[in-house]
Structure 1
Amino acid sequence: MEKPLILITNDDGITAPGIRELINIMNEIGEVYVIAPDKPQSGMGHAITINSTLRVEKIALDQGPQQEWACSGTPVDCVKIAINQILPKKPDLCVSGINHGSNSSINVIYSGTMSAAIEGGIEGIPSIGFSLCDYSFNANFKAAKKYIKSITENVITHKLPEGVVLNVNIPKADEKQLKGIKICRQANALWEEEFDKRIDPKGKTYYWLTGKWSNLDKGDDTDEWALTHNYISIVPVRFDMTAFHFLEKIKQWNLNL
């Protein structure tokens, strides 16, 4: 049988250990094309480049059958230009990651990793975002290899509904500590943000965004619960943001002036 064509991207940059590990895993499953940012693009969300040019350079970082390009744009730019200019055909799968750091709960909104996967979903491609809850450059990505491979193969076999992508988060744990997979809902959690105000050597004010993570959700069916208890969380994510439960109520407003 013909191998599935797999597009890989991320937001940490094409040299990040997470994407290098994902490439190794996907090479065991299909024909791999890598189009990823040439520098870190974390927190870019669904940003696209419209006021400057994009550059794409073919590179070879590792021995392996994959073909690779470094792109000057955002993660979403990478998916768009891959589909429109680089790939020989529409891919059978788009995978993004493995991100250095969690993209659970509300982080899905800010994440360049997940936005790349969502862009794949918008294009009608079954798509998955993978994240590991460890920001370290030396994070242990290998512990979850068999789970990443299993999730990917299941998506290829069973497909995904139109308008749905998977947000997969992996706890910081070794192979013995990982308990398996939980299918979850997105937790009600958020960042309690603060801005650290400072003065530069020229006397001008600048700010560093900081804060702490706050889980407001006490449910045991959430991604935050799963990760805290050493389970890999899978949340099916929709990119149609319509609040369907509010449609009928808003129709009752007096909006005709």
Structure 2
Amino acid sequence: MAPIQYFQLCQPSPSNVPDILVTNDDGIHAAGLRALLKGLEGLATVSVVAPSQERSAAAQSLTVRHPIFCEQISEREWAIEGTPADAMMVALHRLFPKPPDLVISGINKGPNLGENVFYSGTVGAATEAVINHVPAIAISLAHRGNGFIYDHAARFARRLADLILQEGLPSGVLLNVNVPLEWNGGVRLTRQSGKLTRTVLQEGADPRGRIYYWLTEEPVAEPPDPESDYAAVFAGHISMTPIELERTHEPSLSCLSHWTGLLEAKVSQPRPL
């Protein structure tokens, strides 16, 4: 296995203070993002580039059919009329002369566990940062319902950010962090679990008789893998899952190798004139 390559941190600013870029998918005015900013005070120069409104479940989608509008709302905050990944593209390719030392996406209102990471705009923004060679974490408050309190998630984000600024992250890897509402103080490095919810489409009709659907989820009565992100959060621990950009399934390269010969076309050679 090739040795792990670590990100090289950007050259420090004249004040020797690192730069952190914050984004999310709940919108620039979301309570989780505001709590994160408060938690990061004094650690770094913090800038915000985030969607102007909620764009949950946007995954890593990009806007390609219409312009992406950008509005500066304070000295170091920009609201983007687009997706979380759009926000990263605008930030990293237009707004900043040099890459930040770290991107933090969150704090998300709700969990991003298991296969739901493929739908998450929070994780999508962090993924876009890593694609652009900037270390990134996605952090979520793993809670549903009412009573979202972000304080301990924000404090943990600060401690984690400080550690990453000192030690770096493996290149091509983002860290997906889920913080339970009632944290017991434990922290676990975990695997991404399978989907422990079932998709449900609730059907209805509007006053004109047009059929519509509400997309919801129901929990599955299935115990999680004890080393998984779900298991850690259910037990009251913070879950940290390293997610790799490289999605090639290496064993399949070997076990499916005979398919190429079966599927290759027999192309006849053209006859000379």
What is the TM-score of this pair, normalised by structure 1? 0.92
Conservation of the 8 A alpha-carbon contact between 2:187 and 2:239: yes
Q: Identity across aligned pairs (percent)? A: 34
Please, which runs of 5 or more residues in structure 1 have no aligned partner?
A: 61-65
Deviation at 1:215, TM superposition (A): 6.6
1:132 is aligned to 2:138: no
Distance in 1, Cα, partners of 2:146 & 2:138: 19
Q: 1:256 aligns with which of 261, 264, 269?
A: 264
Post-superposition CA distance 1:216-246 (Å, at most 9, x none): 4542211111100110000000121111121
1:22 is aligned to 2:36: yes
Q: 1:86 aligns with which of 78, 95, 99?
A: 95
Distance in 2, Cα, partners of 1:121 & 1:74: 16
Please, which runs of 5 or more residues in structure 2 have no aligned partner?
A: 1-14, 266-273
Deviation at 1:23, TM superposition (A): 1.2
Distance in 2, Cα, partners of 1:214 & 1:113: 24
Alpha-carbon RMSD? 1.6
**Structure 1 pair 163/194, CA: closer, same or farther in 2 (3 Å)?**
same
Q: Where in structure 1 do 4 or more consecutive aligned residues deviate above 4 Å?
A: 135-138
Judge which range, 233-242 or 181-190, deviates more: 181-190
Match of 2:157 in 1: 148
Q: 1:103 aligns with which of 112, 120, 132?
A: 112
Aligned AA (2:227): D
Match of 1:186 in 2: 192
Match of 1:196 in 2: 202
Distance in 1, Cα, partners of 2:35 & 2:218: 29
Distance in 2, Cα, partners of 1:50 & 1:215: 40
SS of the residue 2:256 aligns to: helix
Aligned AA (1:183): L
Conservation of the 8 A alpha-carbon contact between 1:189 and 1:215: no
**Structure 1 pair 202/120, CA: closer, same or farther in 2 (3 Å)?**
same
Match of 1:63 in 2: none
Aligned AA (2:233): L
Q: 1:214 aligns with which of 198, 201, 220?
A: 220
Distance in 2, Cα, partners of 1:57 & 1:135: 31
Match of 1:172 in 2: 181
Match of 1:7 in 2: 21
SS of the residue 2:29 aligns to: coil
SS of the residue 2:252 aligns to: helix
SS of the residue 1:153 aligns to: helix
Distance in 2, Cα, partners of 1:223 & 1:250: 30
Aligned AA (2:33): I
Distance in 2, Cα, partners of 1:146 & 1:35: 21
1:241 is aligned to 2:255: no
Distance in 2, Cα, partners of 1:103 & 1:168: 8
SS of the residue 1:188 aligns to: coil
Count of paired positions = 249
